[in-house]
Amino acid sequence: MRMETQLLVERYRDNLFAVAFHVCENAADADDVVQDTFLCYHTSTREFDSEEHIKAWLIRAAIHRAVNVTRSWWRRRSVPLEEYVQTLAFPSDRDQALFQAVMGLPEKYRVVIHLFYYEDYSVREIAEILHTTQSNVKVRLSRARGMLKTILKEDWSDDE
Q: pLDDT for 58-110, tens place per residue?
A: 999 999 999 998 888 666 665 666 666 666 777 887 888 888 888 889 989 99
In a domain, 84, yes or no: no
From residue 118, alpha-carbon distances to 18, 80, 155 in Å are 9, 23, 22
Same domain, 60 and 102: no
Together in a domain, 145 and 94: yes
Predicted local confidence at residue 41, as pLDDT: 97
Residue 139 lies in a domain: yes
pTM over 0.85: no
Instruction: Tell me the average pLDDT across 23-51.
Output: 93
Domain count, the chain: 2
| CATH code, domain with 48 | 1.10.1740.10
The last residue of one of the domains, among 79, 109, 144, is 79
Q: In this predicted structure, what is the pLDDT of residue 25? A: 83
Structural domain containing residue 55: 1-79
* Among candidate residues 145, 110, 126, the one with its CA nearest the CA of residue 30: 110
DSSP, res 49: S
Report the chain's mean pLDDT, rounded to a whole number.
88
Pair (74, 100) in one structural domain:
no
